[in-house]
């Protein structure tokens, strides 16, 4: 899930009068720009917010470069800063520098992907300032606030081994490897969530179909207090099956139509309580046949004010069906409790010319029953409207 990142800032190292390292037909500022443009286009296509510090061959001072980084998406821990460089000094292979405030997870993800792409890898490391060991040596890590800032050195342009030919011939492959390493990081199985203003454990649990207790247990939390920018692991609750990743411009209607399903089915499968979507959201389209719970229906997390009656009415089932599906012997519920919602037997899609009376007659029910079951306050229908029968 790409919601784990607020935005990505790509920094093509050097530029303008600052050519960077030069040798063996390679000019660092040109290659960093090519690599950065490739990465920019890839993230843009994926719907991930992304900005470049320079898009052409211009000169940027360190302060100008840092100001562009910090003004792009703000000074937050979930902003990734990727500064692209080509090394010099006679070595061989790729390395990644990461800030003292961060860990090496992102850096090693990228190095692993570069290795898969055929490049030798050296190490991921931090470098402390010789003046103040509490600060980073490199300004791109030292002066970029709370962002997660790394510098990727893709290889040595003065290598006596194979880096020179690899950089010339495989730079695009290495740029893609860096993209994959970043995607692995922001879409990790840990489902890291970065706390935003107004967040509570309760609303995070509801949004991600889990419970407050599960989040606290997974993150070793002893209270319900959160800090803005705090990273939380979320329990993995993904059902096996076919998924769709939301793209810019998508709506529940367009996704449902393109996949020959109803909006109600799409919302029920994904436990959605509104029509709001976000880019990168993963939607279940079709549960796997070997999913043992797929025949039982969807799940619902009990919220403040819920009763068995209100939940049953919301999903078009009886209280007895709800109790039976969850082995409940009384009417007591607790906030955060997870309930299995049996799938209603019948959904009717309103067609041109339909009336409540005609639909009720065709389905051997009454207008009043249809209105109560679907929370209708009048007899007005819209084409494509979904009615629980």
pLDDT of residue 160: 94
Looking at the structure, tell me whether residues 150 and 212 fall in a common domain: no
Looking at the structure, tell me whether residues 145 and 6 fall in a common domain: yes
pLDDT of residue 186: 82
What three-state secondary structure class fits 282? strand
Of 178, 206, 233, which marks where a domain is finished? 233
Looking at the structure, tell me whether residues 220 and 299 fall in a common domain: no
pLDDT of residue 100: 94
Q: How far apart are the first and last CA of the chain?
A: 35
Q: What is the pLDDT of residues 259-296, one digit of tens each?
A: 777 787 787 777 676 777 776 677 878 765 444 333 34
pLDDT of residue 155: 97
Looking at the structure, tell me whether residues 81 and 196 fall in a common domain: no
Query: Exposure of 225 by Cβ count < 10 A (0-12 exposed, 13-18 middle, 19+ buried)?
Result: exposed
Looking at the structure, tell me whether residues 182 and 199 fall in a common domain: no
Looking at the structure, tell me whether residues 199 and 173 fall in a common domain: no
Looking at the structure, tell me whether residues 171 and 42 fall in a common domain: yes
Q: Can you say whether the dihedral through the CA atoms of 155, 159, 161, 167 is positive or negative?
A: positive
344: which DSSP letter? P
**H helix or E strand, kind and range, residue 96:** strand 94-98
pLDDT of residue 294: 36
Orientation of helix 105-116 relative to helix 163-186, angle to 10°: 130
Per the structure, the complete domain to which residue 340 belongs is given by 241-388
Compute the residue count for the chain. 389
pLDDT of residue 298: 64
Looking at the structure, tell me whether residues 21 and 111 fall in a common domain: yes
pLDDT of residue 106: 93
Looking at the structure, tell me whether residues 20 and 169 fall in a common domain: yes
Q: What is the pLDDT of residues 32-89, one digit of tens each?
A: 999 999 999 999 988 889 999 999 999 999 999 999 999 999 988 889 999 999 999 9
- Structural domains counted in the chain: 3
pLDDT of residue 57: 97
pLDDT of residue 290: 42
Looking at the structure, tell me whether residues 8 and 76 fall in a common domain: yes
pLDDT of residue 87: 97
Question: pTM for this one?
Answer: 0.53
Looking at the structure, tell me whether residues 52 and 163 fall in a common domain: yes
d(CA 342, CA 363): 20
Buried b (16+ CB within 10 A) or exposed e, 319-357: bebbbebbebeeeebeebeebebbbbeeebebeeebebe
Looking at the structure, tell me whether residues 31 and 178 fall in a common domain: yes
Q: Collect the ranges in the chain with pLDDT lower than 70.
A: 1-4, 187-192, 207-209, 229, 235-241, 271, 273, 279-280, 287-298, 336, 343-346, 352, 384
pLDDT of residue 241: 59
What three-state secondary structure class fits 164? helix
pLDDT of residue 255: 87
Q: Domain with 18 in it: what CATH number?
A: 3.40.630.40
30: which DSSP letter? H
């Amino acid at each position: 899930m790409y919601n784990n990142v607020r935005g990505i800032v790509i920094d093509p190292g050097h530029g303008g009068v600052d050519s960077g390292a030069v040798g063996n037909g390679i000019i660092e500022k040109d290659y960093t720009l090519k690599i950065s443009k490739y990465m920019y286009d890839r993230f843009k296509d994926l719907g991930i917010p992304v900005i470049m510090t320079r898009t052409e061959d211009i000169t940027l001072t360190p302060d100008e470069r840092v100001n562009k980084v910090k003004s792009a998406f703000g000074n937050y821990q979930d902003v990734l800063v990727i500064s692209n460089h080509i090394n010099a000094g006679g070595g061989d292979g790729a390395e990644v520098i990461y800030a003292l405030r961060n860990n090496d997870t992102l850096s090693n993800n990228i190095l692993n992907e570069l290795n898969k792409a055929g490049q030798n890898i050296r190490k991921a490391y931090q470098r402390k300032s010789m003046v103040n060991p509490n600060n980073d040596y490199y300004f791109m890590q030292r002066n970029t606030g709370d962002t997660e800032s790394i510098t990727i050195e893709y290889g040595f342009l003065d290598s006596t081994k194979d880096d020179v030919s690899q950089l010339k011939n495989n730079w695009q492959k290495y740029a893609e490897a860096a993209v994959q390493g970043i995607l692995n990081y922001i879409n990790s199985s840990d489902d890291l969530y970065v706390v935003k203003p107004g967040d509570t454990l309760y609303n995070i649990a509801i949004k991600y179909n889990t419970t407050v207790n599960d989040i606290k247990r997974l993150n070793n939390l002893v209270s319900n207090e959160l800090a803005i920018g705090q990273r939380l692991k979320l329990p993995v609750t993904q059902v096996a099956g076919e998924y769709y990743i939301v793209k810019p411009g998508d709506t529940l209607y367009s996704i449902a139509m393109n996949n020959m399903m109803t909006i109600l089915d799409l919302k029920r499968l994904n436990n959605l309580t509104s029509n709001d979507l976000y880019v990168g959201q993963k939607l279940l389209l079709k549960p796997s046949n070997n999913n043992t719970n797929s025949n039982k229906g969807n799940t619902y997390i009990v919220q403040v004010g819920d009763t068995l009656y209100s939940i049953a009415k919301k999903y078009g089932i009886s209280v007895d069906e709800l109790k039976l599906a969850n082995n409940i012997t009384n009417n007591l519920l607790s906030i955060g409790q997870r309930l299995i919602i049996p799938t209603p037997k019948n959904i009717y899609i309103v067609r041109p010319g339909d009336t409540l009376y005609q639909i009720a007659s065709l389905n051997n029910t009454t207008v009043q029953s249809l209105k109560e079951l679907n929370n209708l306050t009048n007899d007005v229908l819209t084409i494509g409207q979904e009615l629980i029968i």
